[in-house]
Amino acid sequence: MSFWPVDRLKRPRIRSLGVRRRIRRHRWPIVAVAATAAIIALAGTLSAHADRSPASSGGADGRTGTGWSDAEGGWSEPAAPPTGTSSTTRPAEKGPARFVTLPPGSTLPSGAQCATWVRAAPSAENKGMNLMANARTGHRIGGDIFTDERADAQIATRVDGAFTGSTKDVLRWAACKWGVDQDLVFAQAAVESWWRQTVYGDYTRDGARCAPGHGLGVDGRPGECPESFGILQDRHPYQKSAWPGVARSTAMNADLAYAIWRGCFEGYEGWLNGEERVGTYEAGDQWGCVGRWFSGRWRTADSEDYIGKVQDYLDRRIWETRDFQQP
């Protein structure tokens, strides 16, 4: 809606000659009456302002952050809302500027709380190929992914992929929900897929390991099918109840990946001490759990090599470089 500016030099024209003459004849009485009325109005205005001085109720000290005032014991709307606010909506709740790793045993924020925080400061999309997957939410998972009852009860039940937003916002949401440093998440997702939900990987010739709809040869490699899908490369043979969400929804893919990381970080993967390992698996080693994502083993040479790649991308902040942007 446009509002044309008012020209103060223009006045309504009086077209009646008779009216014009009467105005000339009674000009001084009219002027005297108008002046008296103006003085009365000015006195009333000054009195009202004196009553609403900062020392009295409803003055400057009574203003709120949204520009509303509780003068005279009620609520009144300002003539124009302050810049950046609305008289009908409240500002979005601001959350942490950066999500960091929370220690084992911490109370984690809910997915809904994290969504509110992330959306309070949304990021622009830098991976155009993810638009469709970013607009899809996920679903619940079954009992086939975790081997510890504590993980089934405390972690598996939280996985739902219930978020939509830009690729960076999806990753921040997952970092918030699972209490993992967001820069670690950004770097690991870059190593896994360059932040592309459309990536397939870990091809196999074993048809029994193919995901539904992705049989041998279907995805362009004769006699092979991908085992891993999406921005964090969730691996279908070990996460069957997460299908098809991990392939269709960026949020579901990241949600499950860092749910598994959290299970490891909490100490719920004691089976790692029964496999090839270096040292002893225990709770609280965030980088050891990053390496476990790649190798399925604890601090082995392959694990350490993968950890080094993620740390390199983190140190370089690869997601902020020009070549990484694909809007």
Per residue in 167-208, pLDDT tens?
A: 999 999 999 999 999 999 999 999 999 999 999 999 999 999
Assess contact for 78 and 86: CB atoms under 8 A.
no
Residues 178 and 46 in one domain: no
Residues 44 and 116 in one domain: no
Q: Give pLDDT, residue 122.
A: 97
Number of domains, the chain = 2
For residue 93, being part of any structural domain is answered with no
For residue 4, being part of any structural domain is answered with no
Confidence of residue 94 (pLDDT cuts 50, 70, 90): confident
Rounded to an integer, the average pLDDT of 68-81 is 31
Number of Cβ atoms within 10 Å of the Cβ of 39 = 10
For residue 82, being part of any structural domain is answered with no
- Model confidence pLDDT, tens digit, residues 2-36: 322 333 333 333 333 333 333 343 444 443 444 44
- How many percent of the chain have pLDDT more than 70? 72
Q: Give pLDDT, residue 54.
A: 33
Residues 28 and 155 in one domain: no
CA dihedral 237, 238, 240, 242 (to 10 degrees): -130
Confidence of residue 91 (pLDDT cuts 50, 70, 90): low
Residues 42 and 147 in one domain: no
Residue 79 has pLDDT above 80, yes or no: no
Residues 217 and 289 in one domain: yes
For residue 60, being part of any structural domain is answered with no
Residue 68 has pLDDT above 50, yes or no: no
Q: Give pLDDT, residue 40.
A: 42
Residues 260 and 151 in one domain: yes
Q: Give pLDDT, residue 92.
A: 62
Report the predicted TM-score, pTM, of the whole model to 2 decimal places: 0.72
Assess contact for 292 and 272: CB atoms under 8 A.
yes
Q: Where does a domain end: 39, 54, 69?
A: 54
Confidence of residue 133 (pLDDT cuts 50, 70, 90): very high
Assess contact for 173 and 110: CB atoms under 8 A.
no
Residue 158 has pLDDT above 50, yes or no: yes
For residue 193, being part of any structural domain is answered with yes
- Model confidence pLDDT, tens digit, residues 34-47: 444 444 444 444 33
Q: Name the burial class of residue 171, with classes exposed (0-12), middle (13-18) and buried (19+) by CB atoms within 10 angstroms of its CB.
A: buried
Residues 122 and 253 in one domain: yes
Domain interval for residue 40 = 16-54
Mean of per-residue pLDDT scores for the chain: 80
For residue 100, being part of any structural domain is answered with no
For residue 9, being part of any structural domain is answered with no
Residues 47 and 129 in one domain: no
Residues 117 and 243 in one domain: yes
For residue 180, being part of any structural domain is answered with yes
3-class secondary structure per residue, the chain: CCCCCCCCCCCCCCCCHHHHHHHHHCHHHHHHHHHHHHHHHHHHHHHHHHHCCCCCCCCHHHECCCCCECHHHCCECCCCCCCCCCCCCCCCCCCCCCCCCCCCCCCCCCHHHHHHHHHCCCCCCCEHHHHHHHCCCCCCCCCCCCCCHHHHHHCHHHCCCCCCCCHHHHHHHHHHHHCCCHHHHHHHHHHHHCCCCCCEEEEECCHHHCCCCCCCCCCCCCCCEEEEECCCCEEHHHCHHHCCHHHHCHHHHHHHHHHHHHHHHCCCCHHHHHCCECCCCCCCCHHHHHHHHHHCCECCHHHHHHHHHHHHHHHHCHHHCHHHCEC
Q: Where does a domain end: 54, 70, 103?
A: 54
Residues 32 and 116 in one domain: no
Q: Give pLDDT, residue 170.
A: 98
Confidence of residue 95 (pLDDT cuts 50, 70, 90): confident
Residues 25 and 147 in one domain: no
Q: Which two tokens stand for residue 79?
A: 């003539």
Q: Give pLDDT, residue 245.
A: 98
Residue 69 has pLDDT above 70, yes or no: no
**What whole-number distance in Å separates Cα of residue 166 and Cα of residue 160?**
18
Residue 80 has pLDDT above 90, yes or no: no
Residues 123 and 246 in one domain: yes
